[in-house]
Amino acid sequence: MNVDITFHYPPELMNLLIDTIPLLNKTKNDVFLFFQGAGVHSTLTKPLHQQWQQNKDSINKYEIKQV
């Protein structure tokens, strides 16, 4: 059995959530964990996560939200 657990939010709410995620999470790693827990596929976050692991200052929390 294949269950689709994709949530669809109104665009206005989604924009507010995206802007709030970096504010609610203290560290960059927490932002990555939030997206993982929210079900964002790793193919979308992997390049940014690798960039962050190589150089912690190369990306900020607000750039991560653009996943």
Tokens of 65: 């939200």
Round the average pLDDT of the chain to a whole number and report it: 85
Residue 22 binned pLDDT confidence (cut-offs 50, 70, 90): very high
Out of 18-22, 25-29, 31-35, 62-66, the most confident range is: 25-29
Q: Residue 46 and residue 14: Cα distance in Å, rounded?
A: 22
Tokens of 25: 């999470």
Q: Residue 16 and residue 63: Cα distance in Å, rounded?
A: 15
Above pLDDT 70, what percent of the chain? 87
pLDDT digits (tens, 9 = 90+) for 25-50: 999 999 999 888 877 888 989 999 99
